[in-house]
Amino acid sequence: MALSRPAIPLPPHARGGGAVSVRREEDFELPAHATAVAEARERVWGQLCSWGVPEGLGRTAQLVVSEFFTNAVVHTDSCLIRCRLRVCSELLRIEVCDEGGDCAEVVPRQAAADDVNGRGLQLVSAVAERWGVRPGVHEQGRVVWAELSLTVR
């Protein structure tokens, strides 16, 4: 049995024409330190709760943001990491932008059974409708993004 979920209301300035209306959008940036991962999770949780996003989706979004922030902190020389949350149509889009070097392809690693790390992007692949990587602003760094469904499957 499918559960019905109330729609996330459009703010007054977003109502009206256009093929896709942005219902909600929020940006934040944090220093690229290990402590930023937990802070990013908390900011995402607080923002999504204030928008009325269901708890399960909020927890999934925290997992995605945690993975993306961790990779940016560990694998780039970034000073700042930026995050954008956007609710459009039936999707929550999460974008995390680092200041790293080139926009090399990001591929989930095949972790061995006894590896402690290396499963994060596999988890993202499992929970996201789709995800990917694109060059950052002025081709600097990269933006790793994921889209999560707002509808119950």
Tens digit of each residue's pLDDT (9 = 90 or more) over 100-143: 765 555 555 565 555 445 557 878 889 999 999 888 775 678 89
pLDDT at 12 over 90: no
* Alpha-carbon torsion (92, 84, 21, 53), positive or negative: positive
Burial (CB count <10 Å: 0-12, 13-18, 19+), residue 133: middle
Token pair, residue 122, equals 């596999």
Q: Going by C-beta distance under 8 Å and a sequence separation of 6 or more, which residues neighbour residue 104?
A: 142
User: In angstroms, rounded to a whole number, what is the distance separating the alpha carbons of residues 15 and 152?
Assistant: 24
Instruction: Give whole-number Cα distances, 139 to 69, 90, 109, 136, 142, in Å.
Output: 19, 29, 25, 5, 8
pLDDT in tens, 43-71: 999 999 999 999 999 999 999 999 999 99
Domains and their CATH numbers in the chain:
24-149 (3.30.565.10)
